[in-house]
Amino acid sequence: MRILITGGAGYIGSHTAKMLKEQGHDLLVYDNLSTGHAEAVQGLPLVQGDIADGERLAKVIKDYEITDVIHFAASSIVGESMQNPRKYYLNNVVGTISLLNTLVACKVERIVFSSTAAVYGEPGNNSENGLIEGFVTAGVTEIAKQFATAGQTEPLVLNEDCPLKPTSVYGQTKLIIENALKDYSRAYGLKYISLRYFNACGADDSGEIGEDHQPETHLIPLVLQTALGQRDKIVIFGDDYPTRDGTCIRDYIHVNDLAQAHLLAVGYLREGNASEIFNLGNGEGFSVKEIIRTAEEVVGRVIPAEVGARRSGDPAVLVASSEKAKKLLGWKPQYSELEKMIVTAWKWHQNHPNGYSQK
């Protein structure tokens, strides 16, 4: 039993590879290193190759006796996907279909797929009658209480049955593959788990692997790069949203909690369970200002911030219900507190201020 990790040199892939190794699994990282980093693999077995290179991949699967695949390899920047859809349809759709065809040909029966909250699109934009459809109420969470106090609509949390109407090319390409998986599963018996990540953040406790995107677009790394003096300020994309402090609320989930879910997903399929789709989030939302404030507490200094224009396509609130993953996979996130998440990211950024390129 050996697990192939496509994109295992990337952010979430490298954390998953490390955890799999620590828990005694045999694995092989397969990555074309277009955005991944060989250093992130930390000496684990790595083959440099492309998922679209079917011949090479089939040989690797045979040589290494691969039985399961965790498929991270993809392009994942929402803004870039709008500017350059061709790249996203090629890498994420054509590349992944080629991968699936190779798996079917090689009789690999199980795949865990990196999907995204971006498949849901903008909550509420599907409604014709002004009502938000398809959402479940949050229950008694901090965010629910604060919304209620402000006299606003009860906050709504996305579950797996919510309408799928991606607003970005990135989300669209991931949804296409979720649908393809359904068809491949029915026709060819390939079992799958799709994991819809919310806002991945943080780094391994070792501080040796972490988030290194070029260019960086995500909030927490940008805030910490500002704290390091690498950027003059962080620009808050709008403070006039209908939220407790006017800034967007997101569901931040620690990368090692995501990694843990992949291990459980592989085990779930190996036990013979049916294909499933799971949200992976914290169930608690944090605003942009709360992220900056908590980061200031963690780093012990003021982080210059300024309010700018809204970023197009940003929904006010995106929070996940991950009850299904907790119930069926037995998933138990370990890093629910925002401070804990930022502490781990800060350690990585301090150790590697320029990412993997310079220590």
**d(C-alpha 24, C-alpha 65), whole Å:** 17
Choose which of 219, 263, 266, 317 interacts with ligand UDP (CB under 6 A). 219
Q: Which stretch binds ligand UDP (CB under 6 A): 5-13, 88-96, 175-183, 216-224?
A: 216-224
Q: Which stretch binds ligand UDP (CB under 6 A): 28-36, 156-164, 234-242, 340-348?
A: 234-242
Closest CA to 224 of 309, 306, 292, 307: 292
Q: How far is the CB of 308 from ligand UDP (least distance, A)?
A: 8
Choose which of 73, 236, 277, 329 interacts with ligand UDP (CB under 6 A). 236
Closest CA to 13 of 97, 92, 96, 74: 74
Q: Which stretch binds ligand UDP (CB under 6 A): 43-51, 130-138, 153-161, 231-239?
A: 231-239
Residue 276, helix vs strand vs coil: strand
Residue 300, helix vs strand vs coil: coil
Decide: is 94 part of the binding site for ligand UDP (CB under 6 A): no
**d(C-alpha 153, C-alpha 84), whole Å:** 37
Retrieve residue 195's tokens: 């994991």
Decide: is 103 part of the binding site for ligand UDP (CB under 6 A): no
Choose which of 311, 327, 332, 359 interacts with ligand UDP (CB under 6 A). 311
Identity of the residue, 59 or 213, whose beta carbon is nearer to ligand UDP in the bound complex: 213
Q: What DSSP line would sit under 19-85, residue for residue?
A: HHHHTT-EEEEEE--SSS-GGGGTTS-EEE--TT-HHHHHHHHHHTTEEEEEE--S---HHHHHH-H
Identity of the residue, 273 or 336, whose beta carbon is nearer to ligand UDP in the bound complex: 336
Question: Interface residues for ligand UDP in 19-58 (CB under 6 A)?
Answer: none
What are residue 149's DSSP bridge partners? none
Retrieve residue 89's tokens: 């349809």
Q: Are 184 and 100 in contact (CB under 8 A)?
A: yes
Residue with the closest Cβ to ligand UDP? 248
Question: Interface residues for ligand UDP in 65-84 (CB under 6 A)?
Answer: 78
Q: Cα 90 vs. chain centroid, distance in angstroms?
A: 20
Q: Which stretch binds ligand UDP (CB under 6 A): 53-61, 186-194, 217-225, 350-358?
A: 217-225
Identity of the residue, 236 or 329, whose beta carbon is nearer to ligand UDP in the bound complex: 236
**d(C-alpha 354, C-alpha 225), whole Å:** 9
Closest CA to 234 of 224, 249, 244, 247: 224
Q: Looking at 30, 88, 120, 170, which residue is catalytic?
A: 170
Closest CA to 177 of 76, 84, 106, 48: 76
Q: How far is the CB of 270 from ligand UDP (least distance, A)?
A: 31
Identity of the residue, 3 or 222, whose beta carbon is nearer to ligand UDP in the bound complex: 222
The CB-side HSE value for 58 (13 A sphere, CA atoms) comes to: 11
177: left (phi over 0), alpha (psi -120 to 50) or beta: alpha
End-to-end CA distance of the chain: 35
Choose which of 169, 227, 248, 319 interacts with ligand UDP (CB under 6 A). 248
Q: Find the radius of gyration of the CA atoms of the chain.
A: 20
Q: How far is the CB of 207 from ligand UDP (least distance, A)?
A: 21
Decide: is 199 part of the binding site for ligand UDP (CB under 6 A): yes
Retrieve residue 306's tokens: 């300024």
Identity of the residue, 39 or 216, whose beta carbon is nearer to ligand UDP in the bound complex: 216
Choose which of 56, 87, 165, 218 interacts with ligand UDP (CB under 6 A). 218
Identity of the residue, 74 or 234, whose beta carbon is nearer to ligand UDP in the bound complex: 234
Q: Could you confirm whether 170 is annotated as catalytic?
A: yes
DSSP strand pairing (26-31 vs 46-48): parallel
**d(C-alpha 267, C-alpha 284), whole Å:** 27
Decide: is 234 part of the binding site for ligand UDP (CB under 6 A): yes
Identity of the residue, 194 or 275, whose beta carbon is nearer to ligand UDP in the bound complex: 194
Q: How far is the CB of 310 from ligand UDP (least distance, A)?
A: 8
Q: Are 57 and 297 in contact (CB under 8 A)?
A: no
Decide: is 230 part of the binding site for ligand UDP (CB under 6 A): no
Q: Enumerate the active-site residues.
A: 170
User: Which positions lie near ligand UDP, rule CB under 6 A?
Assistant: 78, 199, 217-219, 222, 234-237, 248, 250, 288, 311, 314
